[in-house]
Structure 1
Amino acid sequence: MDGDGGGGKRRRTGSVSSNGNDDNNYNIDASLLEALEKSSQSNIEVLDQRTLKKLVLSFERRLKENIEARLKYPDHPEKFAETEVDLHEELEKLKVLAGGPDLYPDLVNLNTIPSILGLLSHDNSDIANDVVQLLQDLTDEDVLEDSDEPARVLVDSLIENNVLELLVQNLQRLSDSDPDDMTAVYNTLATIENLIEVKPSVAELVCEKTKLLRWLLGKIKIREFDSNKQYASEILAILLQNSTANQKRLGQMNGVDVLLQAVATYKSKDPKSSDEEEMLENLFDSLCCLLMPLENKERFVKAEGVELMIIIMKQKKSAYGSAIRALDFAMTKYPPACERFVDVLGLKTAFAAFMGKIPMSKKNKKERYQEDLEERVISLIASLFGGILRGTRRERLLSKFVENECEKIDRLMELYMRYSDRVTTEAERMNNLELDDLEMDEEEKYNRKLESGLYTLQLIAVILGHLWCSEHSQMKARIELLLKQQKLTKKDVKDILQEYHDNIGDLDGPDEKERAQGRIQKFISAF
């Protein structure tokens, strides 16, 4: 994530102190920076329990003075302004603790966390923003890299003291037009990301306890691009990637529709910068995660998501590959999406991609991009065969493999050979590794083969199975001819299908596993 919105915080010293003495405030900040620089250049041994206690006592004293002054002179800001400058300085000094994460358990034991977090609700937004910056520094992944246990102690204490609720409440009051507030938005999102990094369960907790998802959707709805919209899209993808609960929650909040509207902006234009391009990828990542639960696939079809993805493909802009990926997610194990795809004439567009007729640009000339796209299209066609089992739609799908003298079967066998060679090469490599005493169990071997292209090879074999079982004499003859030309037999295809059959998991329940194995067994018997 490129944080151009969060770098170099520019303090509005005038709003910290209303006595108009900006030069004086600037000097305070400058001398403070100098002191911090000196302390960071000095030996890290200086940062010990004694230093920590001094910092905490000084902070607590300034906090008490500020509270008392505000209570005593609520209508005279000039009389408590100086205590606010002092408090700002103390919060700046506390940032030095990021240099000694091993002291975090001591910081928690000193009961300082509630005092720090209480300032997130401070009437002076600059003070609240200081706290957000401090939290981001303390939880930064570079700081916590080798400090797992101290990091967990700190994060647990922050969560117990309602950091998630306070951070999101703070987000909701920040403005999109104020530079300091935009920086605070970035720092808040960075802190939430850091907390998830240390404790992955925070991803669900923050959505359960706060209105963060709603805030993120609101940010994504804004048409203008900025770095915080980019970061909001990244956080949304993180929250959705491993959480069915969050996927369902966002679906109920009209999330499918919001994401479709956000990506629709790019149906006939490309992002203007690499940051905007990254945001678009994040939006599609979020959309694909959102399409995991069945009810969201239904929402996608109702919101005309299938039609939008086909339009994006036809426009041949940079979102082309992402649209294929979204369709693949929508159509996996969901026949209504497959039926809609055929009804709105998606076959022509999909098979153009299958035949390698994809738009070329600097981005997608990269080999890995081409392969990803190839694998997605194969998965999409396998989903079509799995979702459309009979009727005129099935006939239209099958007829694609007959047209132009069975050119699509030729292409299928070309891909079969390429992926088969790749899997064979990986198997040989693993055998050589084993000779070097690096033994792998069967599961690890199988996973390595899947990563090297076995899964795509299995899907190609499944498509061949569907074609073979259609009892179409022209297609069967073509498949047999091509197998013979490559010195292969039907047994080679059967072996791939058998390995696929034997490794089907029961993630969707034992009944679904049995049904899936039954379908593959039918192909094995037919061959």
Structure 2
Amino acid sequence: MELPPLPTKRKRASASPPPLPSVDTVDLSLLEALEQAQQHNPVETLDLKTLKKLALSFERRLNSNTAARLKYPDQPEKFADSEIELHDELQKLKILAAAPELYPDLVSLGTVNSISALLNHDNTDIAIDAVSLLQDLTDADVIEDNDEPAQVLVDALVENNAVELLVQNLARLNDSDLDESSAIYSTLSTIENLIEVKPSVTELVCEKTKLLKWLQARIKVREFDSNKQYASEILAILLQNSAANQKRFGGMNGVDTLLQAVAMYKSKDPKMEDEEEMVENFFDCLCCLLMPLENKERFVKAEGVELMIIIMNQKKSCYGSAIRALDFALTNYPPACERFIDVMGLKTAFPAFMGKIPLNKKNKKKRYKEELEERLISLIASLFGGILRGSRRERLLSKFVENECEKVDRLMELYTRYSNRVKEETERLNRLVLDDFEISEEDKYNQKLDSGLYTLQLIAVILGHLWTSEHPRMRARIELLLKQQKLTRKDVKDILQEYHDFIGDLDGPEEKERAQSKIQKFIAAFR
């Protein structure tokens, strides 16, 4: 069976940055000095000539500061002025964000190397200035239509160890200080920007730094704040589409960390929208972690199945997210399916399958209800695929017999709805072909999957399990309902045949053959 789709790709940073310090908390003499420096050094029109002037001025201030620190290492007052001047030069370089086409020139001048080195400056304030500058230069709005210049800049930053230095800088920042808390946010934002431009940074940052460890520690903090939210968002980005990072974080006891994080909300709702988004990020991370087999095992051992059922029973805002996590956990992993049945999961899941979901602001949305339906169908299909015999199998089958086969009725109701939806999409695609639009069979298939074919296939698979059980009441009910909808067993066979023909070999040729063999048995049974 195919895996459920990955969590939706993360949006650009939505966490709100920490509040900036008030003017009263800033050294007024420093502000005055900066204002005077800016007045005496007005910025010219942005072109290569101006860039060279800015770069040269910056390098001079940097060299002056370096020399003063080396000459008077124990006398801060001797290099304080050079630090103010260096701060001023870094602020002036921010104007380059308005001309990203100059980034390759900035790199060729060697300025990026110098900026990267400042991330490790002894004065935390200067390091923070460097982070702020990089955040501005790599901002999504700045690089949006400047892919090539942005790529040159980010490549240079990676080559000059900026990624490692950014993470090292995180370790020395204190969240309780307003300036440094804001710098943490800026650092995370810069890392996200680098990943946006160069996706390979996703694995590089986890291989070469302790970012995962830092994020894990930040998530463990009980109190909510914007940086905890942003940490959850960055972790979701790092885990999405990276099996290496999923395995790496799983080996760091990451599954347990996330279970503890979501357990705080098993019987209460988040207080605000940002906190609610953070919890959704946690579940996104958990679902990503549940892709590798070894993490599914860790999830079961950590009693993750039990926790998700408790969350569902509490009927709070995490209800749907718990179903999603269970869907990932049970897919292609029989031990999780067995545990689910052993801890009375059927009693919790089937009321939801029948449409009895708790009332909250989410389930008023049609798409939310549909997603829950699709997740529950996938979950039930996984149970049938993971439990092939014994008393657990009988308990699962008995659910479709009880109450006059009401679950069979519900299954056929969903089959009809998704079948009609797929037929409409098929007709639309056929009209496009008649209008001379070229659409490959694979593209047509993928578009139909997006329109509900995947869920329809899973419903057909469940019907296959019910039919091959040879239970007379269930078979009679399925036959009756098909007839009422002017459908036949051949319609179900056709859905299963298409599913059979498009099963891929992502998990290897042997797994493909095994999956196709199982579907072929269902097709033969519906003769």
Category of TM-score, reference length = shorter chain: over 0.9
Instruction: Specify the code of the residue in structure 1 equivalent to 2:64.
Output: E
Amino acid of the structure 2 residue aligned with 1:23: L
Task: Specify the alignment match of 1:198 in structure 2.
Answer: 197
Give how far 1:27 is off: 2.3
What 5-or-longer segments of structure 2 have no aligned partner? 1-12
Q: What secondary structure is seen at the aligned counterpart in 2 of 1:176?
A: coil
Q: How does 1:215-234 map to 2 (within 5 A)?
A: 215-234=214-233
* Structure-1 separation of matches of 2:34 and 2:20: 14
1:25 aligns with 2:30: yes
CA displacement at 1:231 relative to structure 2: 0.6
Residue 18 of structure 1 is matched in structure 2 by: none
Counterpart for residue 477 of structure 1:
476
Alignment of 1:132-171 (within 5 A): 132-171=131-170
CA distance in 1, matches of 2:103, 2:444: 42
Residue 26 of structure 1 aligns with an amino acid whose one-letter code is L
1:402 aligns with 2:407: no
- Residues 522 and 324 of structure 1, relative CA distance in 2, 3 Å threshold: same
Equivalent pair of 1:257/1:303 in contact (CA under 8 Å): yes
Structure 1 residues 318 and 157 mapped into 2: Cα distance closer, same or farther (>3 Å)? same
Report the 3-state secondary structure (helix = DSSP H, G, I; strand = E; otherwise coil) of the residue aligned with 2:486: coil
Report matched runs for 1:240-255 at 5 Å: 240-255=239-254
Determine whether 1:349 maps to 2:354. Answer: no
Q: Which moved more, 1:161-170 or 1:62-71?
A: 62-71
Q: Separation in 2 of the partners of 1:407 and 1:281?
A: 33
Q: 1:496 to 1:425 in 2, by over 3 A?
A: same
Query: Whole-Å Cα distance in 1 between the matches of residues 34 and 346 of structure 2?
Result: 64
Q: Structure 1: how far apart are the matches of 2:385 and 2:125?
A: 57
Distance verdict in 2 for CA 1:170–1:439, change over 3 Å: same
Q: After superposition, where does 1:402-421 map in structure 2 within 5 Å?
A: 402-421=401-420
Q: Give CA deviations for 1:480-511 in whole Å, capped at 9, x if unaligned.
A: 01011111100000000000000000011000
What residue in structure 1 maps to residue 431 of structure 2?
A: 432
Q: Match of 1:120, as an amino acid?
A: L
Aligned letter for 1:517? Q
- Preserved contact between residue 465 and residue 523 of structure 1 (Cα < 8 Å): yes
2-side partners of 1:406 and 1:229: how far apart?
Answer: 47
Q: Cα distance, 1:288 vs. partner?
A: 0.3
C-alpha offsets along residues 459-484 of structure 1, whole Å, 9 cap, x if unaligned? Answer: 00000000000010010000001011
After TM superposition, give the deviation of residue 69 of structure 1 in Å: 1.4
Residue 180 of structure 1 deviates from its aligned partner by: 0.8
TM-score, length basis structure 2: 0.95
CA distance in 1, matches of 2:38, 2:348: 59
State the aligned residue count.
Answer: 514
Output one character per residue of 1:142-171: Cα deviation in whole Å (capped at 9) or x when no partner: 111111111111111100110111000000
SS of the residue aligned with 1:466?
helix
| CA displacement, residues 53-73 of structure 1 (integer Å, 9 cap, x when unaligned) | 100110011111111111222
Aligned to 2:6: none
State the partner residue of 2:311. Answer: 312
Relative to structure 1, is the Cα distance of residues 511 and 10 closer, same or farther in structure 2, using a 3 angstrom cutoff? Answer: farther
Shift of 1:30: 4.3
Q: Distance in 2 between matches of 1:328 and 1:156?
A: 39
1:366 aligns with 2:371: no
Cα distance in 2 between the residues matched to 1:490 and 1:465: 10
AA at the equivalent of 1:311: I
For the pair 1:131 / 2:130, whether they are aligned, the reply is: yes
Counterpart-to-counterpart distance in 2, 1:285 and 1:33:
45
**Residues 250 and 289, structure 2, Cα contact 8 Å, conserved in 1:** yes
Q: Deviations over 1:30-49 (max 9, x none)?
A: 4567899x85xx8xxx1111
Aligned residue in 2 for 1:491: 490
Rounded to whole Å, the distance in 2 between the matches of 1:11 and 1:251 is: 44
Correspondence for 2:53: 54
Counterpart residue number, 2:75: 76
Residues 245-269 of structure 1, C-alpha deviations (whole Å, 9 max, x = no match): 0000001100000000000000000
Aligned match of 1:2: 14
Aligned to 1:19: none
Deviation at 1:26, TM superposition (A): 2.0
Distance 1:318 1:130, change over 3 A: same
Cα pair 2:57 2:89 within 8 Å, conserved: yes
**d(CA) in 1 for partners of 2:39 and 2:369?**
52
Q: 1:426 & 1:374 partners in 2: Cα distance? A: 20
Residues 270-309 of structure 1: pairs in structure 2 closer than 5 A = 270-309=269-308
Cα RMSD of the aligned pairs, angstroms, is: 1.6
For residues 407 and 35 of structure 2, what CA distance do their matches in structure 1 show? 69
Look up the SS of the partner of 1:363 in the other structure: coil
Which TM-score applies when normalising by structure 1?
0.95
Q: Which residue of 1 aligns with 2:5?
A: none
1:444 is matched with which residue? Answer: 443
Equivalent-residue separation in structure 2 for 1:115 and 1:91 (angstroms): 11
Deviations 1:163-191 (A, max 9, x none): 11100000011112011111111111111
Query: What residue in structure 2 maps to residue 264 of structure 1?
Result: 263
**Structure 2 CA distance, aligned partners of 1:168 and 1:155?**
16
Q: Distance in 2 between matches of 1:322 and 1:34?
A: 54
**Is there any run of 5+ residues in structure 1 with no aligned partner, and where?**
15-21
**Deviations, residues 273-332 of structure 1 (Å, cap 9, x unaligned):** 110111111100000000000000000000000000000000000100000000010000
The offset of 1:432, in angstroms, is 2.3
- Cα deviation, residue 11, structure 1: 7.9
Moved more, 116-125 or 487-496: 116-125
Please give the alpha-carbon distance, in whole angstroms, between the structure 1 residues aligned to 2:35 and 2:379: 59
Question: Quick one: distance in 2 between partners of 1:124 and 1:367?
Answer: 53
SS in 1 for 2:337: helix
Question: Contact (CA 8 Å) 1:355, 1:411: kept in 2 or not?
Answer: yes
**Per-residue deviation, residues 202-230 of structure 1 (Å, max 9, x unmatched):** 10010000000011100110110001111
Please give the per-residue CA displacement for 1:117-166, whole angstroms capped at 9, x wherever unaligned: 11111111111000000001111111111111111111111001101110
| 8 Å CA contact 1:216, 1:236 repeated in 2 | yes
Q: Distance in 2 between matches of 1:57 and 1:12?
A: 34
Does the 8 Å CA contact 1:6/1:184 hold for their aligned counterparts? no
